[in-house]
Chains A and B, each alone.
Chain A
């Protein structure tokens, strides 16, 4: 970027330097005008849909350097000042693996110091960039995150062995319901209906699959039942939101409460009294895919899973392909962006919305089945424990894109599993603190996006023909 660095609070034009003027308004606004052609591609990627030939400015945001600074400080205190001695071992293979990778061993205190120095360097780079009116790129943030994570793991595992495959397998396991929920959320929001009821759909799916699979002894039938249950919850959401124009967020919240109450009641009154008959679903077996499952680290993580996980891979790929490369997706996005325009080209807006909200419920239902047919082979009260809300956060964090939402869900799953693994190896962090981690991460992730992400324009607004 060729523009000169200006004093904070002055404005310079690219061609017509028009002197400086005092900053007004909120007072902390520092703006520099940049030649539109010279604006880095990063900004263009973030808002590909808005140029209109207007000149751009870059509003200084000190968010990233401040956050980096805080985390560097935490690293300094935790890894260096309160640093622990010993050797941290990262185990990369299980004993049963065909290809054995050697374990990585690092001296804990040295790792802590190196990581802290690197974090400091990145924080300074970020600070310099912002001072020069440039953005902090996403890759820098990612490197910062990975480094901090490594430092933290090394510190927590001082004198211990951290099973990396276990950490990753658990991540996928915990992410499965989140990803199914996020896919349901993406479809529903893309078509213009805010889906707060993901939690209810997951819980209904978990309950229905447990009961049906127990009764029939067929886990596959349980899967179908979960789908139907998810659709039922969706049906109520769709009916109220689309047909009767009730506020979608309120319907969603009420539905979640309703499903929790209903399943709690049925669990305590029916299921727990006939647990043998109604609440002992058979589990799906893990299926190892030949060859692929022997890839080090990735193989056991991704390809020694149950059919539900393989269905999830298919679902993510199908939603992505469907949304952006098929007639169905084009219409779904059109209805969620500008329903009236869709109507004028002969697309039935409310029918499209109704069907796709049902579809979203069906997909989310699969995620519910994962709880009872894979993780825990029985239904428990409120066993989804807020997974639906985290899936909703993943939708927003993933900016309504199926792939990014999946990655976000994996991140949240990783945070949850970290708590499990550290609990097992006995880390110095209180487990209550670690339990908080996925939620704290969710808040940070969503807050970091404030003002930067833009959902489907008509999401949450009922389509009322006058």
Chain B
């Protein structure tokens, strides 16, 4: 089925998320939609899927104009979507998730689960998936959940399938498998829209590439285009694709974590007997697919987890059982993975956010009174140093772009005397310019002799920053390997396997480290 978008415009208040976007996807092709975080890709697809109503423009399928009041209409017209955050109900089985919204019933209104199971099996067989229709979705690994999403779309005979950042949660091997599946779907005549910001994937699978920037189509490219060409189109200027860093010059171990476990409310070991150490002046990256205990591990270090067993010592001082405040006082800087939820108070100004963790001592507070003059001076200085672009230090942080918000978090955490720096997902959802800046500051922090932990699910980021890499899987550390370990090995480790031989690559050959 041919999909055509004509002059789609979508505004949110003053912000124009999509500005007269034209796009044609031919039958049986994989059309990549390439753009930075915040370029408007997902908004466009939500318009296509009926979740948003376009302010202007038309959607045409096989040259017939469509009007989608909701996702139901879009689905009936043959559009399917594999969402970035899976739209699956965790407490339902695979079959129940697939049938939801399109239920077949038997006499007396009973759900026909057998029909749904058969449908799941039939589509699974077509692509060689091995999927139990009666498995609870919550129990399935992320990669398998994505297949459930694909089956869900296909069970409604989707002719146009949209993949929204599908590889963000996958291991490299799972990504390769997904590419094969997308190829199979294309060969079966499905039109595919592939949304991503990763250049490697685009060049690997796409038939055509449309690049959008700041809500506008800025060009089309062939898959033969070079990384540098694609990146400069996407960002609007030439981009340095690698992170410049000297070889690490590590000192002695500063942070020693031994036999650390974190128990959750259900009595599960979300972090399972983890031991590692971080030396001064090195970056230890913690890699792994989202949800394998990295969040809990970083929260345990900062003192946010309640049930922690084992020991964490920083320069000989035990951190376990200390309050978050005491841990911060001990010299730990922490960039939380969700800056809007844990890192910043959106309604507070930039200046106020910059002093959030130092609200009980001089120089910010004296005799119980905020030292506003000092604060403003401090904020002016830091916003300049960290290149926070805003209309002034009194702007509420919630109004800044993701990249600038992250710089505020970074400015706050790095302007104390640190003895340990923990950055969780430091570049999630921010623009390329900010990514470059954040990476530069992390490397500078390392070079200043601070032990650094970077938790990231982006393998590119891990490879770009790490001196050593610890890979987590189901709460355990599968292994700790050198920073230049090959992606294939890391991918296997992210799936819980320990390869017999750890192959490494020359760092110079790492390409597209940023994107």
CB distance from B313 to the nearest CB of A (A): 12
Q: Is B91 a contact of A330 with CB atoms below 8 Å?
A: no
Q: Is A348 a contact of B321 with CB atoms below 8 Å?
A: no
**A331 close to chain B: CB less than 8 A:** yes
Contact code string A165-206 (vs B, CB < 8 Å = 1, else 0): 000000000000000000000000000000000000000000
**B70 close to chain A: CB less than 8 A:** yes
**Looking at the complex, which one of A56, A330, A451, A457 makes contact with B96 (CB distance below 8 Å)?**
A330
Q: Is B269 a contact of A54 with CB atoms below 8 Å?
A: yes
**B99 close to chain A: CB less than 8 A:** yes
List of A residues within 8 angstroms of B320 by Cβ: 24-25
Question: Between A and B, how many residue pairs show CB distances below 8 Å?
Answer: 157
**Looking at the complex, which one of A328, A342, A345, A457 makes contact with B75 (CB distance below 8 Å)?**
A345
Bound form: Cα–Cα A345–B267 in Å = 34
A11-19, A118-126, A269-277, A359-367 - the one binding chain B: A11-19
**Looking at the complex, which one of B75, B101, B109, B474 makes contact with A54 (CB distance below 8 Å)?**
B474
Q: Is A57 a contact of B268 with CB atoms below 8 Å?
A: yes
List of B residues within 8 angstroms of A160 by Cβ: none
**B265 close to chain A: CB less than 8 A:** yes
Q: Is A21 a contact of B259 with CB atoms below 8 Å?
A: yes
Bound form: Cα–Cα A33–B88 in Å = 31
**A129 close to chain B: CB less than 8 A:** no
Please judge, given known A-B contacts A21-B309, A56-B267, A57-B267, whether A338 and B72 are in contact too, CB under 8 Å.
no
CB distance from B104 to the nearest CB of A (A): 9
List of A residues within 8 angstroms of B249 by Cβ: none
**A52 close to chain B: CB less than 8 A:** yes
List of A residues within 8 angstroms of B363 by Cβ: none
Q: Is B70 a contact of A341 with CB atoms below 8 Å?
A: no
**B218 close to chain A: CB less than 8 A:** no
**B103 close to chain A: CB less than 8 A:** yes
List of B residues within 8 angstroms of A345 by Cβ: 71-72, 75, 87, 100-102, 152
Q: Is A57 a contact of B269 with CB atoms below 8 Å?
A: yes
Q: Is B307 a contact of A26 with CB atoms below 8 Å?
A: yes
Please judge, given known A-B contacts A325-B110, A338-B89, whether A451 and B139 are in contact too, CB under 8 Å.
no
**Looking at the complex, which one of A24, A51, A327, A340 makes contact with B311 (CB distance below 8 Å)?**
A24
List of A residues within 8 angstroms of B71 by Cβ: 343-346
Q: Is A24 a contact of B51 with CB atoms below 8 Å?
A: no
Bound form: Cα–Cα A25–B265 in Å = 14
**B136 close to chain A: CB less than 8 A:** yes
**A317 close to chain B: CB less than 8 A:** no
List of A residues within 8 angstroms of B321 by Cβ: 24-25
CB distance from A459 to the nearest CB of B (A): 13
CB distance from B508 to the nearest CB of A (A): 38
A337, closest chain B residue (CB): B89
Bound form: Cα–Cα A103–B219 in Å = 92
Q: Is A25 a contact of B138 with CB atoms below 8 Å?
A: no
CB distance from A317 to the nearest CB of B (A): 13
Q: Is A47 a contact of B89 with CB atoms below 8 Å?
A: no
Contact residues of B between 50 and 97, Cβ < 8 Å to A: 51, 70-73, 75-76, 81, 83, 86-92, 96
Contact residues of A between 1 and 51, Cβ < 8 Å to B: 11, 13, 16, 18-19, 21-26, 29, 31, 33, 43, 47-51
Q: Is B308 a contact of A25 with CB atoms below 8 Å?
A: yes
**A100 close to chain B: CB less than 8 A:** no
List of B residues within 8 angstroms of A54 by Cβ: 268-270, 272, 474-475
**A268 close to chain B: CB less than 8 A:** no
B83, closest chain A residue (CB): A344
**Looking at the complex, which one of A29, A48, A56, A346 makes contact with B268 (CB distance below 8 Å)?**
A56
Contact code string A299-335 (vs B, CB < 8 Å = 1, else 0): 0000000000000000000000000011110110110
Bound form: Cα–Cα A331–B75 in Å = 17
Q: Is A11 a contact of B309 with CB atoms below 8 Å?
A: yes
Q: Is B138 a contact of A52 with CB atoms below 8 Å?
A: yes
**B263 close to chain A: CB less than 8 A:** yes
Q: Is B269 a contact of A29 with CB atoms below 8 Å?
A: no
B76, closest chain A residue (CB): A346
A16, A51, A55, A457: residue with the most chain B Cβ atoms closer than 10 Å: A55
Bound form: Cα–Cα A332–B469 in Å = 45
Bound form: Cα–Cα A55–B270 in Å = 8
Q: Is A18 a contact of B110 with CB atoms below 8 Å?
A: no
CB distance from B402 to the nearest CB of A (A): 15
List of A residues within 8 angstroms of B87 by Cβ: 338, 340-341, 344-345
Contact residues of A between 337 and 393, Cβ < 8 Å to B: 337-338, 340-348
**A254 close to chain B: CB less than 8 A:** no
Bound form: Cα–Cα A54–B476 in Å = 10
Bound form: Cα–Cα A47–B91 in Å = 10
Q: Is B111 a contact of A49 with CB atoms below 8 Å?
A: no
**B405 close to chain A: CB less than 8 A:** no
Q: Is A344 a contact of B307 with CB atoms below 8 Å?
A: no
Bound form: Cα–Cα A50–B266 in Å = 9
CB distance from B45 to the nearest CB of A (A): 12
Q: Is B105 a contact of A327 with CB atoms below 8 Å?
A: yes
A34, closest chain B residue (CB): B267
Residues of A bordering B, CB below 8 Å:
11, 13, 16, 18-19, 21-26, 29, 31, 33, 43, 47-59, 325-328, 330-331, 333-334, 337-338, 340-348, 451, 457, 465
30 examples of A-B residue contacts, CB within 8 angstroms:
A11-B259, A11-B261, A18-B273, A23-B309, A24-B320, A24-B321, A25-B306, A25-B307, A25-B308, A31-B261, A31-B263, A43-B267, A49-B90, A52-B138, A53-B139, A54-B270, A55-B269, A59-B263, A327-B111, A330-B96, A330-B99, A330-B100, A330-B103, A331-B103, A341-B100, A344-B51, A345-B71, A346-B70, A346-B72, A348-B70
Contacts A11-B259, A50-B268 supplied; 17 other A-B pairs, CB < 8 Å: A21-B311, A25-B308, A49-B139, A52-B138, A54-B270, A54-B272, A54-B474, A57-B263, A326-B109, A337-B90, A338-B87, A341-B86, A341-B87, A341-B89, A345-B102, A346-B70, A457-B90
In the A-B complex, the 8 residue pairs with the smallest Cβ-Cβ separation, listed nearest first, are A346-B72, A345-B101, A341-B87, A327-B103, A54-B268, A24-B320, A344-B87, A55-B269
